[in-house]
């Protein structure tokens, strides 16, 4: 049987390329390819997305979710790539017709860490300190606890934001622990936060064309079932709320024992209002769990929609 040649579309950032290499390594292990074979069989194509090009303003001002995936998905649809690797938190709630998330890798710790210039925890931030973030979700969660903080925009990849913090552009910033772990970055004084993370944070998704049976067969071997179920629940929550990077929305689903548990919340950007919903579902029949998990997320979102009504932030 001949071995396939797979083109992997990826963003060109250090983290995105690391994640694409993780997918390539997982494919090699699952299908018995050597490291040298995998580099030949799986070529990574770096694509500069609109989100990467925009550095002069927050992404929510430029169109929100989807700016990190648009060009990558176009490469898939045009047959210029066979699979695409994404940070699932960047994925819009609705995919373009003809594309599907066929697999996800095992999730890394999804939580955020706080890092200050003086290595102190978030609770010790000085009054009226400058918090550097361009995430409205992180902004809202921080202001809910510390309304005195001044939010200053801080765009760029992990290395860029750390450099800006070192230059004194902010007193502290927030980063995804998963990204730091994958890049091998250990930060002295990093404060692991127990806030709910962005939906799907820490998960790497593999997108393919729906009609590509060969790509589906290849990536099925590396799909992490429990992570995929959790992501289905979180994306159901996202889709029903029509959330984007302009909406302060967060949540986390986990399989704990024989139960899928979910907690979600939506805030106003100033953090003054918050709506929460929780759900639990017995794991039961694994064949039905994926659609049931998505339905559970949607049901939790409908509770928030009914409770918040016109007060829910709309952009």
The whole model's pTM is what? 0.91
Q: Which of 52, 56, 82, 90 is catalytic?
A: 90
Give the tens place of pLDDT for each residue, 195-230.
999 999 999 999 999 999 999 999 999 999 999 999
Q: Are 10 and 26 in contact (CB under 8 A)?
A: no
Residue 114 pLDDT? 97
> Percentage of the chain surpassing pLDDT 70?
91
**Neighbour count for residue 98 (Cβ, 10 Å):** 13
pLDDT higher than threshold 90 for residue 314:
no
Sign, Cα dihedral of 44, 199, 100, 254: positive
Helix (H, G, I), strand (E, B) or coil at 129: coil
90 against 284, higher pLDDT: 90
Q: Which domains are assigned to the chain?
A: 1-106+203-223 (3.40.190.10), 112-192 (3.40.190.10), 224-309 (3.30.160.40)
Within 8 A by CB and 6+ apart from 200, the residues are: 88, 89, 91, 231, 234, 235, 238
For this structure, is 90 an active site residue? yes
Give the tens place of pLDDT for each residue, 127-177.
999 999 999 999 999 999 999 999 999 878 888 899 999 999 999 999 999
Strand partners, 207: 84, 101
Q: For 62-83, what is the HEC assignment?
A: CCCCCCCCHHHHHHHHCCCCCE
């Amino acid at each position: 049987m001949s071995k396939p040649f797979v083109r992997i579309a990826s963003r060109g950032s250090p983290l995105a390329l690391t994640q694409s290499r993780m997918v390539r390594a997982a494919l090699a292990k699952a299908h018995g390819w050597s490291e040298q074979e995998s580099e030949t069989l799986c070529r990574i194509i770096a694509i500069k997305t609109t989100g990467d090009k925009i550095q002069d303003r927050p992404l929510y001002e430029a169109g929100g979710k989807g700016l990190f995936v648009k060009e990558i998905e176009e490469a898939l649809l045009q047959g210029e790539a066979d699979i695409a690797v994404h940070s699932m938190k960047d994925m819009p709630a609705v995919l373009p017709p003809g594309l599907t998330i066929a697999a996800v890798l095992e999730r890394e710790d999804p939580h955020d860490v706080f890092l200050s210039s003086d290595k102190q925890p978030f609770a010790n931030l000085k009054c009226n300190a400058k918090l550097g973030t361009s995430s409205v979700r992180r902004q809202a969660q921080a202001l809910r606890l510390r309304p005195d903080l001044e939010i200053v925009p801080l765009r760029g990849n992990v290395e860029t934001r750390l450099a800006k913090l070192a230059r004194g552009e902010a007193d502290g910033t927030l980063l995804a622990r998963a990204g730091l772990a994958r890049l091998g970055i250990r930060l002295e004084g990093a404060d692991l936060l127990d806030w709910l993370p962005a939906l799907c944070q820490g998960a790497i998704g593999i997108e393919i064309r729906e009609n590509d049976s060969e790509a589906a067969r290849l990536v099925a071997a590396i799909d992490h079932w429990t992570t995929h179920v959790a992501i289905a629940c979180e994306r159901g929550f996202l889709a029903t709320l029509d959330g984007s990077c302009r909406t302060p929305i967060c949540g986390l689903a986990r399989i704990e024992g024989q139960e899928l548990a979910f907690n979600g919340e939506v805030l106003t950007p100033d953090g003054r209002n918050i709506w929460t919903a929780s759900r639990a579902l017995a794991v039961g029949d694994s064949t039905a769990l994926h659609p049931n998990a998505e339905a559970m997320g949607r049901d939790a979102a409908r509770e928030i929609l009914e409770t918040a009504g016109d007060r829910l932030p709309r952009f």
